[in-house]
Structure 1
Amino acid sequence: MSFGWSKPYEPTSALGKWFDERLPVPRLVHGSLGGGYEVPRNINYFYNFGVLAGLALVIQIVTGVVLAMHYAANTEVAFSSVEHIMRDVNYGWLMRYMHANGASFFFIVVYVHMWRGLYYGSYKAPRELVWMLGVVIFLLMMATAFMGYVLPWGQMSFWGATVITNLFSAIPVVGDAIVTFLLGGFAVDNATLNRFFSLHFLLPFIIAGVVMLKIWSLHIPGSNNPTGVEVKGPADTIPFHPYFTAKDLFGVGVYLTIFSIFLFFMPNFLGHPDNYIEANALATPEHIVPEWYFWPFYAILRAFTFDFILEAKLWGVVAMVSAIVLLFFLPWLDSSPVKSMRYRPKARMWTYVLLADILILSWCGGAVAEQPYIIISQIAAIYYFAHFLIILPLVSRTETPLPLPASISEAVLKGDASTGAPAGITDTGRNAAPTAQPAE
């Protein structure tokens, strides 16, 4: 978001002026990411995760294109082609491990990014569309990751695809037709693998397009901040570059360090060992589970164990889809005029309960479908929906928020007296003098 006090872009060379008059890309970059883009001066390291998600997407696209050059989408040779990439292609092992672990790290940074949005109220007006586009990206990520999990054609790939696609058969009247359309036949086979490979290659570029829309929509109202107070003047902002580009680069360094540790020292830690066994339609694995980042939704899916008017499997599908679709309506379910949970003590407490609930769902989703995991997942699933549909609307209408600072600069320079920021989040430099130095 460019304010009236932002420094306008001025080309410094004759070539720069000539280019700017004909294709103003440098002006666009300056206004979007450079010194012409003003951001709240108090945003903290939790705001790095948007950039990290973009980096993770770039890693996935680049490594995916390289892997596609050597992968064969045929059930007879798909598993062998992955082994060929690992053993015979120059640095193929690196590309494959970067792609496999990159998917997990992509979901990690997106989940943290979503948590930050929930905690600081980034879904509230005037940023509802920014939040909704983020949920669209999340749905596209889930579809892309599911299809990518099938491509190695291991045991978990085959049986995971079989279980998940067969869930659509629970839809009345058209369910079987949908399953046949998705599979390209009556079972997971060569046609399925070809379809999933094509879509898995295409969807990341669609995600990139939606990311561009999200960035565009974000630049209209500007970035949110930990206080949730809107920008009121030049004292509330500083240029994105160089202050927050340096901060983002530090975050990128930390991210790549942790990513490299997994990549070089425990590349299979986040995967499933059964996927190193070639797919066999005659040998069902003892415990079929999706990738870890699907576990909360898988637990909700499995929480329905008996028929009630409709088939239990259909209730599970509806609940799993609803758990994500519900996020689209969050800006209207939470009617509190105060954005940040820092100033909403009751809502903050229930938000931490939601986080614990999601972790419990993840634990149950990765466990065997037996007691006590089933009853625990049922209770956790009930709370998940109750939080968004009952607790949050009631709390937002009844709680008394803490006093908000008059402006962002006041919170930074005088110290924010509120309590309850997430562990590890501090706004350093609050007592700094109002100079050009970044007070975060």
Structure 2
Amino acid sequence: MSFPWANEYKPSHPLMQWMDEKLPLPRLVYNAVGGGYEVPRNLNYMYNFGFLAGLCLMIQIITGVVLAMHYAPNTLVAFDSTEHIMRDVNWGWMLRYGHANGASAFFVVVYAHIFRGFYYGSYKAPREMVWLLGVVIFLLMMATAFMGYVLPWGQMSFWGAQVITGLFSAIPLVGDPLREWLLGGFAPDNAALNRFFSLHFLLPFVILGVVILHIWALHINGSTNPTGVEVKSKSDTVPFHPYYTAKDGWTVGLFMLIYSAFVFFMPNALGHPDNYIPANPMQTPAHIVPEWYFWPFYAILRAFTVDFLIVPAKLMGVLAMFSAILVWFFLPWLDKSPVRSAKYRPLYRKFFWVLVLDVAILAYCGGAPAEEPFVMISQIASLYYFLHFFVIVPIVSSIERPDPLPFSITESVLGHDGQAALGAKA
């Protein structure tokens, strides 16, 4: 968002002046992430996860491109080529572990980013497009991660592809032909592996393009902040650089320490041991489970065990699993509260933490065997999940009495005193 008090880019060196005239790339960078981009002065560390998500995306693209140079997308040698990367390629083990754990890190920061949006109402007007593009990014991430999990062609890779693509067969009439078209055959085989490899290589660049649109949409109306109050004066903002580049830099350092600890000391902690066994279509694993970041939605899928009239349980599970994400598209219109931040919405804040607990329960049940009591718990947690978005959020936004909002961002930082009031008028 461009404010009248924002610093203007004024190159002093003749070369930079010439560059700014012919191709104003330095001006674009300066206005996007430099001193020309003003942001609310009260952003807390929960607002750092967007930058960390961008860092994770770049890690995944760089490591993925290098890994693709040594990987062979053929069912006869895919597993062996993965082992070749691990054992024979210089620093191949680090690249592969960095890529595998980078996917988990990516989902950790994106989940934190999404729930921060839930808490602070980042989906509300006038930033609906920022939120909608963010949900599109998440869907693309899920597709990319699923296809990447298939590539090592281990036991869990093969059977994960078999189960997930089998969901398409639940769609009436077109389900089976759609699955055969997706796989290039009747079961996961060489054609499917080639297609998944091609798409897994392509989709990160599609994600990058949508991320650029996401940031562009964010710059139109500016960032939200923990109060939900819009910027009113110069005292409400500070330049992104150096204030938030320094803050992001500290978070990047902490993130890299944790990420490196997983890559170098416990690289398989978040993986599944069965994926170190070559794919065997004749031997079904005892417990087929996706990667941990799919567990909440996998639990919703498995929660439907009984047919309802003419609708099979499998189809209801598939529809519910996709609806669990698609409902986020409608959140800007389901929540009609004029107050954005849960910090000033006491009733909504309680239900938000119940939702966090509910998703954690779904995640635990999704990684557990498909047996009691996990199935029953999944059913109860799934019911609450949809009640939260379709019933609780609309009702709470209508009946809730929010706490008084600060007059300005400056007042929320400095307090309600003469200095804050003076700053608000500046």
Same-fold call, TM cutoff 0.5: yes
Answer yes or no: is 1:375 the counterpart of 2:376: yes
- What SS does structure 2 have at the residue aligned with 1:39? strand
Q: TM-score, normalised by structure 1?
A: 0.94
Counterpart position of 1:20: 20
Partners of 2:158 and 2:319 lie apart in 1 by: 23
- What SS does structure 2 have at the residue aligned with 1:220? helix
Partners of 2:208 and 2:142 lie apart in 1 by: 14
Counterpart position of 1:406: 407
Partners of 2:342 and 2:282 lie apart in 1 by: 52
Partners of 2:159 and 2:13 lie apart in 1 by: 61
Counterpart position of 2:253: 253
Answer yes or no: is 1:240 the counterpart of 2:226: no
Once the two structures are TM-superposed, the CA of residue 2 in structure 1 deviates from its matched residue by: 1.9
Query: What's the CA shift string for 1:143-176, capped at 9, x where partnerless?
Result: 0000000000000000000001011001001000
Counterpart position of 1:167: 167
Counterpart position of 2:386: 385
Query: What's the CA shift string for 1:319-370, capped at 9, x where partnerless?
Result: 0000000000000000000000000000000000000000000000000000
Partners of 2:70 and 2:300 lie apart in 1 by: 37
Q: Percent identity?
A: 70
Q: Which runs of 5+ in 2 are unaligned?
A: none
Partners of 1:235 and 1:415 lie apart in 2 by: 14
Once the two structures are TM-superposed, the CA of residue 415 in structure 1 deviates from its matched residue by: 6.9
Partners of 2:98 and 2:12 lie apart in 1 by: 40
Counterpart position of 2:130: 130
Residue identity matched to 2:414: L
Counterpart position of 1:113: 113
Alignment of 1:213-228 (within 5 A): 213-228=213-228
Counterpart position of 2:8: 8
Residue identity matched to 2:395: L
Once the two structures are TM-superposed, the CA of residue 255 in structure 1 deviates from its matched residue by: 0.4
Residue identity matched to 1:62: I
Partners of 2:53 and 2:390 lie apart in 1 by: 29
Q: TM-score, normalised by structure 2?
A: 0.98
Residue identity matched to 1:292: W
User: Whose helix proportion is higher, 1 or 2?
Assistant: 2
Counterpart position of 1:63: 63
- What SS does structure 1 have at the residue aligned with 2:7? coil
Partners of 1:179 and 1:144 lie apart in 2 by: 18
Counterpart position of 1:287: 287
Q: Which runs of 5+ in 1 are unaligned?
A: 417-429, 435-440
Partners of 2:148 and 2:107 lie apart in 1 by: 14
- What SS does structure 1 have at the residue aligned with 2:221? coil
Counterpart position of 1:48: 48
- What SS does structure 2 have at the residue aligned with 1:260? helix
Partners of 2:166 and 2:2 lie apart in 1 by: 50
Partners of 2:416 and 2:351 lie apart in 1 by: 26
Partners of 1:230 and 1:71 lie apart in 2 by: 50
- What SS does structure 2 have at the residue aligned with 1:386? helix
- What SS does structure 2 have at the residue aligned with 1:229? coil
Partners of 1:12 and 1:52 lie apart in 2 by: 32
Once the two structures are TM-superposed, the CA of residue 224 in structure 1 deviates from its matched residue by: 0.2
Partners of 1:345 and 1:174 lie apart in 2 by: 47
Counterpart position of 2:104: 104
Once the two structures are TM-superposed, the CA of residue 318 in structure 1 deviates from its matched residue by: 0.3
Partners of 2:122 and 2:333 lie apart in 1 by: 13
Answer yes or no: is 1:201 the counterpart of 2:180: no
Counterpart position of 1:89: 89
Once the two structures are TM-superposed, the CA of residue 215 in structure 1 deviates from its matched residue by: 0.3
Answer yes or no: is 1:357 the counterpart of 2:330: no
Instruction: Report runs of 4+ in structure 1 exceeding 3 Å deviation.
Output: none
